Structure 1
Amino acid sequence: MNRVVLIVLDSLGIGAMPDAENYGDAGADTLGHIAASKTDFSIPNLIKMGLGNIDGVSNIAKEENPAGSFGRLGERSKGKDTITGHWEIAGLLTEVPFQTFPDGFPKEFMKEFEAAIGRETLGNYAASGTEIIEKLGPEHEKTGRPIIYTSADSVFQIAVNTAVIPLEELYQICETARKMLIGDLQVGRVIARPYILENGKRIRTSDRKDYAVSPTGKTLLDHVKDSGKKVYAIGKISDIFNGQGVTTSVHTDSNQDGITKTIEALRLDFSGLIFTNLVDFDSKYGHRRDPIGYGRCIEEFDRRLPEILEAMKEEDVLILCADHGNDPVHSGWDHTREYVPVLLYGKTIKSGMNLGTRKAYADIGATIAEMLSANPTVIGESFFQLLKKI
């Protein structure tokens, strides 16, 4: 194999895992509930790939002769957040979940943080990002106090109107938080959440930036890079891995931009891994509990899937997967503990192969490492031999 294209359809879970009840997620089914909610849901290209043939997938038609191979992956790691999911895909096990702060961060820490940034803050509680900027935005815009919030994920999020606090200052504030959130206060990510006020509406911009902790060991990205090949990261991938193992990083403004930049990367001539995250599924629709919008977003991806396939070179392999669920009909506004799909397509691998239910997201990383002749990942079992054409 010369190149693997791995696209994470952020949060597109396909049904609750057996331990979902421990996470408050019994009955979650992101894809199934979207399909049930949107009566005109149309994803012919994903169906042709074999999405509806995956074990446990509901409300999606099966394909008699799938163009791709397909399977369902469980998560071995503890948690249901972005970093945990992506790190496991890339071969790292998270046995102790990242610290969360559902009641907000300690008052003593917040005082120290405010002193360090020279500003008092607002919020400091768990909330939906769109809701909290509507609620606290007017006071923030009047006082210049940044809005702090968290969620069921291990995050310290900072929202500001960039007309009040310039973007570069927001990034500096986030860097300060990242340095201070250590030890018992360590979170997986500090996230800059800039927004603008336009025609009376508060609109989050694409200048979001994640400040993640570094991976706890070598990942698939490191192994591919160490083998002398390129790791071309598109979207928030570089942020999630704190740049570790990345050779090229490309920012994206939206899913559509991410798809376009993936196609542009496919047209380049290099060997290695193209690793893309399409975050709109999660950030714009899952967290906002909008099943119809989420469905439209999947349909938009489906319409452009043929462009991706057309841009692939003879030996390229495409892998589609997710990193957790975010059921838009579930209670609250946070991620859900779910199985995720894996779909694979390429002229050099078998089509129509049912990989069944796999034990770990990490099987993806193990498979890619073998495909690219890189060192094996720490965890995960490769299914490459099942896909090889004789």
Structure 2
Amino acid sequence: MINRVILVVLDSVGIGELPDAACYGDQGSNTVGNIVKACGKLDIPNLCRLGFGKIEGVDYLDIPPRIYGCYGRMTEVSKGKDTITGHWEMAGIQLKEPFPVYPSGFPCEIIDEFKAAAGTDILGNYAASGTEIIKVLGQEHVNTGYPIVYTSADSVFQIAAHEDIISLGRLYDMCKQARGILKGRHGVGRVVARPFTGQYPDFRRTGGRRDFSMEPVSPTILDELQQKGLPVAAVGKIEDIFSRRGITEAVHTSNNQHGMELTGEYLEKLDRGLIFTNLVDFDMLYGHRNNAPGYKKAIEEFDAGLDGLTSRLRDDDLLIITADHGCDPVTPSTDHSREYVPLLLYGRNIKPDVNLGTRETFSDIACTIAEIFDIPYKFPGKSFFGEIKP
């Protein structure tokens, strides 16, 4: 019997382009594979013991003589390659239309309404790297007090502000105002608060980021678990991704290590239910910045810390490790990439060394959790629980 599921998302750790990658401009993307080609062998013995090297297409990792986990890869069927789309799909929502993107900036109708609601003019309104735009516009923002509005290849409306010029509370209020405006055909996936501090030219972003996401468009496995009275603990930005819906407890993280520590703390607190963790450093610090050596080190650090997590698992626990998309730091693009994601499972009460193959949708995770907890709601996809239980 499984009483707890621990779902850990390695944000952007993709393992090779999907068949439709060319439609997204992502030909040749392979986040983990290209890191190995560029930076050399990955030292990740714990993930390899779970079967990472036996996943189809992953021919660059060690395969130890004994495999303790189950392994496979998952295909994203939703339209898009962003954080929300990936997480929503693994929770049971398949999006047939992508969230809108604004590579040329937001239309006047949106910006004018935002300026009226916020009572201020703005700077920016174009697609840019968050670290770069505060270098370019940060001092003008300090001088004028106008917030910096920008976007990216993702469906995001981002607002950057110096904490000494616009308080965190005021920045969050602006984001809520933008969230109220951005709906319907302009319903972007996320409105993101991007506070920063420092003095020109050494501005730096702070840990006060907050995401204001679209509310899920249909029931998720989180909603169904909560409705059944089971705890759903969210670690990292999971709470934001699901607009706080279907979540009973939530904590935010400062880095990957902190996320692992908080996940371990929930193992001591919860007897049943779901612990849902996002580890964002891979994507935020290394993928988007095309820092392949840093990305490699982050994967190895996660692997080194995995022993500390698995040693705290009970016999009735199931650990699921996956990702939400790719973000290949080796290709010229700094955007997310349309890739397969790994599916690795570990538990003392499941069969070892089971090849789960190529799953047709991330939603197989929602179906599996639903079967484990006897939830009648039918999500799209197919449970793999029958393939791993003794």
Shorter-chain TM-score tier: over 0.9
Give distance in 1, aligned partners of 2:333 and 2:246.
Answer: 35
Match of 1:62 in 2: 63
Q: Cα–Cα, structure 1 residues 122 and 3, in superposed 2: closer, same or farther, change >3 Å?
A: same
Q: Cα–Cα, structure 1 residues 137 and 334, in superposed 2: closer, same or farther, change >3 Å?
A: same
Stretch moving more, 336-345 or 269-278: 269-278
| Deviation per residue, 1:317-366 (Å, 9 max, x gap) | 10000001111112221100000001000001011001111110111111
Tell me which amino acid in the other structure corresponds to 1:123. Answer: G
Match of 1:9 in 2: 10
Tell me which amino acid in the other structure corresponds to 1:386. Answer: E
Match of 2:110 in 1: 109
The question of 1:209 aligning with 2:210 is answered: yes
Give distance in 2, aligned partners of 1:93 and 1:61.
Answer: 34
Match of 2:170 in 1: 169
Match of 1:227 in 2: 228
Q: Residues 355-374 of structure 1 correspond to what in structure 2 (within 5 A)? A: 355-374=356-375
Per-residue deviation, 1:199: 9.0
| Deviation per residue, 1:90-122 (Å, 9 max, x gap) | 011100001111110012321221121121111
Q: Residues 173-252 of structure 1 correspond to what in structure 2 (within 5 A)? A: 173-197=174-198, 201-252=202-253
Q: How many residues align?
A: 389
Q: Cα–Cα, structure 1 residues 51 and 114, in superposed 2: closer, same or farther, change >3 Å?
A: same
Q: Is the 8 A contact 2:139 2:200 kept in 1?
A: no
Tell me which amino acid in the other structure corresponds to 2:383. Answer: S
Give distance in 1, aligned partners of 2:270 and 2:166.
Answer: 42
Q: Cα–Cα, structure 1 residues 377 and 6, in superposed 2: closer, same or farther, change >3 Å?
A: farther
SS of residue in 1 equivalent to 2:222: helix
| Deviation per residue, 1:207-256 (Å, 9 max, x gap) | 11110111111101011112221001111111111111111111111111
SS of residue in 2 equivalent to 1:94: coil
Q: Is the 8 A contact 1:32 1:60 kept in 2?
A: no
Q: Cα–Cα, structure 1 residues 163 and 40, in superposed 2: closer, same or farther, change >3 Å?
A: farther
Give distance in 1, aligned partners of 2:347 and 2:200.
Answer: 47
Q: Residues 1-390 of structure 1 correspond to what in structure 2 (within 5 A)? A: 1-39=2-40, 41-197=42-198, 201-389=202-390
Q: Is the 8 A contact 2:5 2:319 kept in 1?
A: yes
In structure 1, list runs of 5 or more residues that go unmatched. Answer: none
| Deviation per residue, 1:180-229 (Å, 9 max, x gap) | 11222110110011111169522211111110111111101011112221
Tell me which amino acid in the other structure corresponds to 1:383. Answer: F
SS of residue in 2 equivalent to 1:295: helix
Under a length normalisation based on structure 2, what TM-score does the superposition of the two structures give?
0.97
Aligned residues with identical type, % of pairs = 51
Give distance in 2, aligned partners of 1:385 and 1:38.
Answer: 38
Per-residue deviation, 1:379: 0.8
Q: Is the 8 A contact 1:234 1:276 kept in 2?
A: yes
Give distance in 2, aligned partners of 1:90 and 1:168.
Answer: 31
Give distance in 1, aligned partners of 2:72 and 2:19.
Answer: 17
Give distance in 2, aligned partners of 1:75 and 1:51.
Answer: 19
Q: Is the 8 A contact 1:365 1:377 kept in 2?
A: no
Give distance in 1, aligned partners of 2:250 and 2:378.
Answer: 22
Tell me which amino acid in the other structure corresponds to 2:104. Answer: D
Tell me which amino acid in the other structure corresponds to 1:201. Answer: D
Give distance in 2, aligned partners of 1:53 and 1:98.
Answer: 34
Give distance in 2, aligned partners of 1:63 and 1:127.
Answer: 43
Q: Is the 8 A contact 2:42 2:61 kept in 1?
A: no
Give distance in 1, aligned partners of 2:377 and 2:243.
Answer: 21
Stretch moving more, 196-205 or 289-298: 196-205
SS of residue in 1 equivalent to 2:229: coil
Give distance in 2, aligned partners of 1:202 and 1:296.
Answer: 25
Stretch moving more, 47-56 or 366-375: 366-375
Q: Is the 8 A contact 1:91 1:365 kept in 2?
A: yes
Give distance in 1, aligned partners of 2:31 and 2:245.
Answer: 30
Q: Cα–Cα, structure 1 residues 377 and 203, in superposed 2: closer, same or farther, change >3 Å?
A: farther
Give distance in 1, aligned partners of 2:270 and 2:146.
Answer: 48
Stretch moving more, 10-19 or 193-202: 193-202
